[in-house]
Chains A and B, each alone.
Chain A
Amino acid sequence: MDKNVAVYLCRGCDIGGALDMDALKDVAADEYDIELCREHDCLCGDEGRSLIAQDVTDGVNSVVVAACSQRFMQDAFTFDSVLTTRVNLREQVVWTHEPNDEDTDMMAQDYLRMGIVRAQKANLPDPLQEEVDRTVMVVGGGVTGLTAAQDAAAAGHQVILIEKGDELGGWMKRWAKGIPHKAPYTDPQPVDVGDQIAAVRANEKITVHTGTSIEKISGGPGQFDVTLRGNGAEPIRVGAIVQATGWKPYDPGKLGHLGYGTSPDVITNVQMEEILASGAIVRPSDGQTPKRIAFIQCAGSRDQDHLPYCSGVCCRATIKQAMMVREMAPDSEAYVLYKDIRSPGQYEAFYQRAQEDTGIFFTKADVTGVQNGGKILKVEAEDTLLGGNIQLEADLVVLATGMVPRSADGELIRQYVDAKAVVAKGEGGAQLENAKVTVEELGYLEDAEILNLGYRQGPDLPVFKHGFPDSHFICFPYESRRTGIYPTGCLRAPQDAQSAQEDGSGGALKAIQALEVTARGEAVHPRWGDMSYPEFALQRCTQCKRCTEECPFGTINEDEKGTPQPNLTRCRRCGICMGACPERIISFKDYSPEIVGSMIKAVNIPDEFDEKPRLLGLICENDAYPALDASGLKRLKHSEWIRFVPVRCLGSVNTVWIADALSSGFDGIILIGCKSGDDYQCHFIKGSELMETRSGNVQEKLKQLALEEERVQIVQVPINEFERLPEIVNAFAEEIDDIGLNPFKGF
């Protein structure tokens, strides 16, 4: 489809009064032979919009709207099958610079040039048309998985429920009572998982496979091909996956300091659940009913040597167990030794109810040890509320151990597998030695796979922290780094059964949503609705594997030669692969090394005698660009030398742009992105981090060109610090001014 570009200049919001509009028209007409270039006092108004709409019906298919920021008035400037390019003359130019000033006009003209170039080179993406299977697969048959399966089915989807064990129900099935889940939140309530299992079994939309694990999962969202192990069936096709593999208790074997292993009467809270479920409270050693039961909270939790986190449920679980003990053995007493009682929300009532029982005793205490005195166990603690250190005699000690997610660190397993391969080959000196060490260290990962994903980056979800495989747990809790696969329940975060069930629903929704969105050929989180996708010119590929390594979402596999094999429904459209590719063979219809490169080159670079430096700002459109808008709304001035180009993510910045910019005479380049590191704010997890590593190579390039390394800088600006943004830009401008102009100017 050949382009018919038209340019529309808005005079509204001070633009008309602050800029030389005729000069802008000349740029369009003279420099780019744009035949249709209109001005209007208010393009976003009905009149302005119909003006453009009319031209569109007359054949215009690529419109350049030079007005406000692309973040405003999207609806006003969206026309069917028309590529709209926004040029931000308002926030970035007239609101932040001197009106009727030569430099301000030059800036506006450069932005228009970039816009026109984009309008000429970019194309409307055609949606990815893939066959999408709408079946949801749920992995794990505990209460989380059961709920996910039920709720997905209730929304009209076929569901396949996979459970490794022989029966459904998970931990809850083995427990007599649970913590209360509704008002008045005062008494343990019977576990109703039995009914739930029956309902799932009876649901004709749900196919249950117990005693089954996963041999392999290939493909991507909408078209996962799953081979099950155990029931020998041929591959099943499913559209999305909810992983609800739950938790396992922290290994009490590591809790010798709390007496575990020294006496059979030192048990975990999970063992206690089983005793309570058995109907008779007897202690393991001699089958007698323990008269004094000590509950030690945070056993191996909130402990840097064990689990650094808090499982959030042990306090309430212990309260429940203590109540059940008092109910089943009224002569017995329960002593609860806690660090902090964590019974948030309405569960304050649960704690208080337990306190009111004269047979349940609470104190804050740091337990220093449990001594085995034969029949009697002696608990020693300090920092109690009773004044001084205490010893406490007990017939049974219950260690409140925490929850460990049943996850598998896909990336680590991949390292292990790769290392094993190297060792198997038995070649290469240092590399071989390292591989041997790795195999040694990671030996515990043998057969650790759960999902067995056929992803080059590893067979399971990458984990973020403490083994929880999420990626943005505050704002987007179910997001993982594998599109269409959603961790839920205690796999995602330690939580009680009710929250886990709610999690199951949440995970199921995300799975259903992924199907809907994928079927429309759109991107899922965070570039919702984006139709564009990367295209690979493989004939020019050198098999450097950077794209397969750097994609945060494991989109790309490799064939044996190392040629990338993209699975486009896995793609989040961030463009990190595009930024990584040294051969520039990866591009989107409306975003590519070529398009952005041309936009950069379109900037008019004054020669050195004008002493007007030019700076390039490659700016993340997720956080930094909105911040720039906010600073514009506040009319905060920034340097007139800079020219901003929004990028999908700093990770999508291809270093060739930097090289092009320097060779075309830019004096400095600033890359503005999101925070990286443990508390990263990058919406694509690794984008800004990857750019930092790449900038190493950039600095190399600068050295070769004998240029100062200060000419290329990366800064991280959170979206809320918009007031700092102009300061940063201005400081950079001054720094470059001090260094002096780019010697390559004019060549």
Chain B
Amino acid sequence: MAEALLLKPDRRFVEDLVGAGGGDLKKCFQCATCSVVCGLSNGSSPFPRKEMIWAQWGLKDRLVSDPDIWLCHQCNDCSQRCPRGARPGDVLAAVRQKAIEHYAFPSVMGNWVNSVKAVPLMLVLIPALLIAGALLVRGPLEAAVGYVDPHGHEFYAHFFPHWLLIVFYSGLTLLTFGGLIVGLFRFWAGMKANDSALGRGGAVLGFVPSVIKAATAVFTHARFGKCTDQASRKTSHFLAFYGFLALFIVTSWAVVDLYLMPLIGVESLYPFNLMHPMKILANVGGILLIIGAARAILKRMNVPADGKHQSTSFDWIFVWLLLLVGVTGFITEVFRFSVDPEVVSAIHNVAYGFYFVHLVMVFGLLVYLPYSKFAHIWYRTVAMIYAEHTGRTQEGQSLVQVAGTTD
């Protein structure tokens, strides 16, 4: 048994979790029905029963550095069967939000990105100003270095040149991504510390094999598939996941095509015509993303009225961003193929307007990734790696006899 731990009950944190959607967490009386009905829980470190009492006592340090909160895909079987209506599924969701906020670097971002009140500022004003600012400095900059954009004649590039796009977004994204890396390292350290405090943990599987197993689970959605209650959620997630992935690949390729290919003497095919494989991939990805996001939104809008599942701003902001990125992306594309770039007209400004909105949405999605619900792609992956690493998910551990019984 581990050393006696000095409890620091934290009512403020309990209230934070209540505010973040864990409103009924205090009702839990620790019967552990949840840990048993959960298809993803495991034998050696079942959840969410222990997370529920940690939450009741406001043990923030334990919760944010608990890998198990990320092994949950919120199917809400636990909330359905909970005899006290404590909604463990939503409590874990709230804990995950608090974990992302806790590891956010700089930490202020965590609180701002996810608050509805801050939406106009964070998701409209700041991106708009930065983008506008970038557009303002564009001319002077190009003049200063005497740069003539070879793609300047293209429709949107005319409005917002590729080089600026790349510098601007890669720069900011990489900047916040650095913060993410810091958070992930602190998370990993926290998990180890937490486990040793509870006398658990210790490597069972090598790091690399753990990464491979976890990655496989991520790409196949194998664990998500174990959620019995809301299988359709898996589909939505699957679509959005691969839609986003496709768009990410296309975007990256575009950069390669535009600036690296010419260096090796290959002429850039950009802008791709509709039949170009990358364009096809892009359109397919966009459609997947929109369908996935739309499904997710509808699902959340039509939860049963039994009050056993609730969504928060943390969820809403993220799913709406996904959808809007997809939708605005398509609108801008339509304009691009329907408008004659040479004949300048008012329609151009409308197109640029939508493009601008699209850029703002993309900003919200990519630049804020480490602080929004989007960060789960990283925290969950790292937690899954850790889980494999410490043998949490090994089947052999899921069934044991009652201690001290003759078998």
Contacts and interface: CB of A to CB of B under 8 A. Distances in A.
Interface in A309-346: 333, 335, 341
A382 interface: yes
A47 B254 CA distance: 115
Interface in A381-409: 382, 385-393
A393 to B, nearest CB: 7
Tell which of A341, A382, A390 has the most Cβ of chain B within 10 Å.
A390
A352 B5 contact: no
Nearest to B17: A358
A389 B11 contact: no
A577 B108 CA distance: 89
Given A356-B27, A358-B14, A364-B30, A386 B7 contact: yes
A341 B26 contact: no
A355 interface: yes
B54 A386 contact: yes
A612 to B, nearest CB: 54
Given A355-B29, A364-B30, A389 B5 contact: yes
Nearest to A351: B29
A79 B247 CA distance: 105
Which size bracket describes the interface of A in this complex? 20 to 34
B9 interface: yes
A393 B6 contact: yes
Contacts of A357: 26
A352 B54 contact: no
B195 to A, nearest CB: 11
B7 A387 contact: no
Contacts, number: 72
Given A361-B9, A388-B198, A390-B7, A382 B1 contact: yes
A327 to B, nearest CB: 16
A362 interface: yes
Interface in B9-52: 9, 11, 14-15, 18, 26-30, 50
A389 B9 contact: no
A362 B30 CA distance: 10
Contact of A389 (B3, B18, B27): B3
Nearest to B29: A355
A390 B29 contact: no
A362 B3 contact: no
Contacts of A387: 2, 50, 198
A363 interface: yes
B7 to A, nearest CB: 5
Given A356-B26, A382-B1, A386-B54, A391 B7 contact: yes
Contacts of A359: 11
B84 A352 contact: yes
B56 A362 contact: yes
Residue of A341, A351, A361 most packed against chain B (CB within 10 A): A361
Contacts of A385: 30, 50, 53
A358 B4 contact: no
A333 B7 contact: no
A358 B2 CA distance: 28
B353 interface: no
B12 to A, nearest CB: 9
B4 A388 contact: yes
B90 to A, nearest CB: 16
B277 interface: no
A359 B11 CA distance: 6
Given A333-B9, A335-B9, A355 B4 contact: no
Contact of B57 (A363, A364, A389): A363
A355 B14 CA distance: 12
Interface in A672-706: none
Nearest to B8: A393
Given A358-B11, A361-B56, A341 B29 contact: yes
A380 interface: yes
A296 to B, nearest CB: 14
Nearest to B32: A385
B171 interface: no
B199 interface: yes
B4 A391 contact: yes
Contacts of B14: 358
Given A358-B14, A391-B4, A391-B6, A386 B27 contact: no
Contacts of B57: 361, 363, 386
Interface centre among A333, A341, A358, A380 (most CB of B within 10 A): A358
B200 to A, nearest CB: 9
B124 interface: no
B56 A389 contact: no
A358 B197 CA distance: 25
B84 A390 contact: no
A321 B197 CA distance: 33
Contacts of B4: 380, 382, 388-391
B128 interface: no
Contacts of B278: none
| Listed residue (B11, B26, B29) with the most chain A CB atoms within 10 angstroms of its CB | B26
15 contacts: A292-B9, A335-B9, A352-B84, A355-B26, A355-B29, A358-B11, A358-B15, A362-B56, A385-B30, A385-B50, A385-B53, A388-B3, A388-B5, A390-B6, A391-B6
Interface of A: 292, 333, 335, 341, 351-352, 355-359, 361-364, 380, 382, 385-393
6 interchain residue pairs of minimum CB distance? A389-B4, A388-B2, A391-B6, A358-B14, A391-B4, A356-B26
Given A335-B9, A356-B27, A389-B2, 20 more contacts: A333-B9, A355-B28, A355-B29, A357-B26, A358-B14, A359-B11, A361-B9, A362-B56, A386-B54, A387-B2, A387-B50, A388-B4, A388-B5, A388-B199, A389-B4, A390-B4, A391-B4, A391-B5, A392-B6, A392-B9
Interface of B: 1-7, 9, 11, 14-15, 18, 26-30, 50, 53-54, 56-57, 59, 84, 197-199
